């Protein structure tokens, strides 16, 4: 049940945002094994005059993608693969990326978040057979 936030500059059209959502959701499933029906993604477009790197607007496209996942559900290699493949996808979709564009994998304890009104910890406990 990952939650992804993507900020991009310059702004993209609706077709490109849809394509980004499709590809990033697919990469989340392929590299991290996350279930598509509970993968949420928010895309925010920022004009060039609202994005700065080194106090200057970047000459290339810029992106910031953060994904929140349940702590301990993925290996370091899986997270590295996600960062690498997502960066490549962003560069393919947006054109050359400013080096100071970021992909961040944030791990959140299972007790601290969930979906459908249940934390991930409570969801896990409800699947564990009682002894």
CA contacts within 13 A on the Cβ side of 102: 10
- Confidence label for 129 from pLDDT (cuts 50, 70 and 90): low
What are 96-122's pLDDT values in tens digits? 999 999 999 999 998 988 888 988 889
What are 2-16's pLDDT values in tens digits? 999 999 999 999 999
| Parent domain of 119 | 3-127
How many domains are there within the chain?
1
Supply the CATH number for residue 85's domain: 3.30.429.10
What are 60-78's pLDDT values in tens digits? 999 999 999 999 999 999 9
What spatial distance separates the first Cα and last Cα of the chain, rounded to whole Å? 28
This prediction has a pTM of 0.90
């Amino acid at each position: 049940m990952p939650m992804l936030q993507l900020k991009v500059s310059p702004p993209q059209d609706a077709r490109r945002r849809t394509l980004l959502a499709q590809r990033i959701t697919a990469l989340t499933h392929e590299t991290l094994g996350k279930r598509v029906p509970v993968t949420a993604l928010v895309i925010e477009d920022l004009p060039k005059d609202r994005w700065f790197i080194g106090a200057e607007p970047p000459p290339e496209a810029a992106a910031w993608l953060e994904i929140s996942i349940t702590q301990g559900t993925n290996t370091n290699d899986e997270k590295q693969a996600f960062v690498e493949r997502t960066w490549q996808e962003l560069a393919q979709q947006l054109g050359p990326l400013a080096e100071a564009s970021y992909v961040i994998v944030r791990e959140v304890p299972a007790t601290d978040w969930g979906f459908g009104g249940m934390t991930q910890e409570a969801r896990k406990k409800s699947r564990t057979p009682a002894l």
